[in-house]
Amino acid sequence: MAKVAFIGLGVMGFPMAGHLKVKGGHDVTVYNRTAAKAASWAAKFGGKSAPTPAEAAKDADFVFTCVGNDDDLRSVTSAKDGVLQSMKSGAILIDNTTASADVARELYAAAREKGVDFIDAPVSGGQAGAENGVLTVMCGGDEATYEKARPIIDAYARMVGLMGAPGAGQLTKMINQICIAGLVQGLAEGIHFGKRAGLDIEKVVEVISKGAAGSWQMENRHKTMSEGKYDFGFAIDWMRKDLGIVLDEARSNGAKLPVTALVDQFYGDVQAMGGNRWDTSSLLARLEK
């Protein structure tokens, strides 16, 4: 059993911290910006809550962060009450936020100055994956640190991999979002076309999902998309945040991402329709308006 701190109890962090406590059997202390959410977690899982990130991280062997963006991450790690102000030498900071590769490298350096190790470890699998403890975790950092962290991460994951040096986890997550963006747009166009052609979408998907066109998105989202239901996971606001990170990185490294840039604009159209909190499959709504 390890002493663990978890910072950030959103739709992903809340169940992830729960798996660390229940499945992992660890001694878990949590912090959340809204204290009532931390108290609710402690009441549900039997852990403890703390008033600041630094207090939660004090004496912890492993500290997890799962917050909104680069600035949020700096706030809970490097600010006056951030975790790096109290983490003990030899502890490991594991960041599950989807953030930039630049901030991952920045935190790696800041952690090392404090005698702390760091892994950037963004996740994929959405709210359902977090709740069921079957997330995919993409890690960047030193191999020795990763080997120590992996058994702890396993409590909420079904796939964990070390992708390379600090920042490599975030770069891999960017590729994940690039692939999802184009795939969902293609699925939206296919369903839209099928409806206009007068086909039975259920029958169409039953056939084509067993061939080269098949995907997780098709299997799990075609029915709700066809019915115009878009309350099943990752919100457009967060996807656009992620795609913004992707496109910034592409401008830096020279990658050409014409489809990703276009789909980002399409998500902007859905936001303009009032769909900020709709899930990413709502690209179909833009075609059917």
* Token pair of 230 as six digits: 């878009």
Rounded distance, CA 4 to CA 64, Å? 8
Give burial (CB, 10 Å; 0-12/13-18/19+) of 143.
exposed
Return the beta strands (E) in the chain as ranges: 3-7, 27-31, 48-49, 62-65, 92-95, 117-120, 123-124, 135-140, 157-164
Cα distances (Å, whole numbers) of residue 164 to 138, 140, 158, 282? 10, 5, 19, 34
Rounded distance, CA 37 to CA 41, Å? 6
* Token pair of 213 as six digits: 């066109």
Catalytic hit among 80, 173, 229, 256: 173
* Token pair of 247 as six digits: 């496109």
Rounded distance, CA 146 to CA 251, Å? 30
Active site residue 173: yes
Active site residues: 173
